Amino acid sequence: MSNPVSSPDGLAQLRHDLRTPVNQIIGYSEMLEEDAEASGHSPYVSDLRKIQFAARTLLGLVDTRLDAGVLGGFAPVPTKPAQAHERVQSPFAKSADGENESVRMAGRVLAVDDNENNRDVLTRRLQRHGLTVESAADGLQALALVRARSFDLVLLDIMMPELDGYSVLQQMKADPLTRHIPVIMISALDELDGVVRCIEAGAEDYLPKPFNPTLLRARISACLEKKSLRDAEQRHLQLIEETKRRLDEELAEAAHYVRSIFPPPTSAPLAIDWKYEPSTELGGDAFGYHWIDADHFAVYLLDVCGHGVGASLLSVTAINVLRSGSLPATDFRNPGAVLSALNNAFQMERQNNMYFTLWYGVYHAPSRTLHHASGGHPPSLLLAPDATGAFASQRLISPGLIIGAMEDVVYAAQSCIVPPGAHLMVLCDGCYEVADAEGEMLDFDEFEKFMQLNGIRPDGLDQLFQWLRVRHGEGPLDDDFSMVRIQF
């Protein structure tokens, strides 16, 4: 029958059991030495150092001489469970005011070890550095504590009964509530495989027992600093998320307001509908239509350069001027006069160097005449039925400079007769300037052909938008999509 002590696992446990009390001797004697030096009892320092030297020599013998060959003839001796000992009280202890402030740290640390004296040594050592320390006697208790309270660091023994340190580490890193807590693994066994396994599982670092005080302090300090930086980063990210959420809400409210100023579709005396899809939360397009008087109907669509809040504010401001007719001494039945007045009112040096394009038309119902003027804007399309019932298109364009470029520009108006059953499409350049996956831009001719075939369909505007979306591919269009359709 094989000797279980000489097996690899048995040897590891035996080394662990032999090293544990020796490590405690080293730990207590180091703290006593520090207290003796701090309190002026220097004669005791030499004796304490001799104790440490003897203990470290014994550890070396355990590591180098204790193997299966030496133990082959020995029967296993049952080990007694570790007994709780009273805390070692230092005869040299000074008040907290007398401790070395240069090594003090801040943070909450959980020390996990199944041996009470090990926990006592580690707790005392950590408290000397100013840390708040709690302890756990086993893995299950450690998991309960980290899930119930807040810790900045966990010092976790590897070899423990029932639930070892590696299993505790795995469960901590699998739990979203605890995975961010840094863990330093500790063990009386200096085994490289165990170190690698723990680091791969998410441990921050590894410390062998007995602890080198300088190394212990340095590694704990590094982990606490990383935890502090991570906490600050998380607070910063939370602040960013909260700010983003608030801005999203405000942008959504602003976008709702922009849509609210657009007039509703109508069925009489003119059938009017429209489609508006901004490329971002707030676009630079705006439009409107209204009866100036019983005979004159105005329709207009403008496109501010750029997108976002600034472009949207300018577009809403300009469209409200047109809706309210608040340009002094301006005849709103004269498209050229309206553009000239708008141009002088919205000079780009007074609008944060932003300008806009505009198409403005006035329909005179008794004569069925449409007068229109344009300031750097794409042509509108007039789809009219011919003798065969097919729809032919006419581009309604009048050359004119963008609105706001220079003062006192004169804008000329053009006129055309609107046949019964005709459809007018007032649009922005986002309705056709759409690139495909290869970067090839759709030209106005292709757009015009599509509208000749589909423009008068009840869902013609939706069909156009979907056609452009398919052409563009994933993601929103690069520019706002705005079109007003009027059936005469």
C-alpha torsion sign, points 298, 301, 304, 309? positive
| 3-state percent breakdown (helix, strand, coil) of the chain, nearest 5 | 45, 20, 35
Q: Sheet holding 369-375: strands in order across? A: 285-291, 296-304, 356-364, 369-375, 414-417
CA distance linking residue 155 with residue 147, whole number of Å: 15
Contact, 151 vs 126, CB < 8 A? no
Please indicate, yes or no, if residue 452 is contained in any of the structural domains.
yes
In this prediction, residue 9 carries a pLDDT of 58
Name every residue whose Cβ is closer than 8 Å to that of residue 1 and which is 6 or more positions away in sequence: none
Does residue 236 sit in the same domain as residue 343? no
Q: Tell me the pLDDT band of 194, cut-offs 50, 70 and 90.
A: confident
Does residue 367 sit in the same domain as residue 481? yes
Residues of the domain holding 78: 1-96
Does residue 14 sit in the same domain as residue 91? yes
pLDDT tens, residue by residue, 64-109: 666 655 555 444 444 444 444 444 454 554 444 444 444 578 899 9
Please indicate, yes or no, if residue 253 is contained in any of the structural domains.
no
- Residue 268 burial class via C-beta count within 10 angstroms: exposed 0-12, middle 13-18, buried 19 and up: exposed
Into how many domains does the chain fold? 3
Does residue 84 sit in the same domain as residue 111? no
Please indicate, yes or no, if residue 256 is contained in any of the structural domains.
no
Enclosing H/E stretch for 481: strand 481-487
Please indicate, yes or no, if residue 189 is contained in any of the structural domains.
yes
Does residue 32 sit in the same domain as residue 151? no
Does residue 381 sit in the same domain as residue 303? yes
Please indicate, yes or no, if residue 67 is contained in any of the structural domains.
yes
Instruction: For residue 205, give the CATH number of its domain.
Output: 3.40.50.2300
Please indicate, yes or no, if residue 337 is contained in any of the structural domains.
yes
In this prediction, residue 67 carries a pLDDT of 61
Contact, 117 vs 88, CB < 8 A? no
Does residue 46 sit in the same domain as residue 143? no
Please indicate, yes or no, if residue 459 is contained in any of the structural domains.
yes
Residue 89 DSSP symbol: P
Domain end point (choices 96, 117, 152): 96
CA distance linking residue 30 with residue 100, whole number of Å: 15
Domain end point (choices 43, 69, 96): 96
pLDDT tens, residue by residue, 123-176: 988 998 899 999 999 999 999 999 999 999 999 998 888 899 999 999 999 999
- Answer whether 0.85 is exceeded by the pTM: no
Domain end point (choices 48, 72, 96): 96
Contact, 423 vs 455, CB < 8 A? yes
Does residue 232 sit in the same domain as residue 293? no
Q: Number of helices and strands (H, E) in the chain? A: 12, 15
Please indicate, yes or no, if residue 78 is contained in any of the structural domains.
yes
- Report, as an integer, the average pLDDT of 2-26: 60
Q: Tell me the pLDDT band of 445, cut-offs 50, 70 and 90.
A: very high
Does residue 118 sit in the same domain as residue 144? yes
Residue 101 DSSP symbol: G
Which residue, chain included where needed, has tokens 């300031």? 375
Is the predicted pLDDT of residue 8 greater than 80, yes or no?
no
Does residue 105 sit in the same domain as residue 92? no
Does residue 85 sit in the same domain as residue 116? no
Does residue 407 sit in the same domain as residue 271? yes
In this prediction, residue 117 carries a pLDDT of 87
Name every residue whose Cβ is closer than 8 Å to that of residue 347 and which is 6 or more positions away in sequence: 404, 406, 407
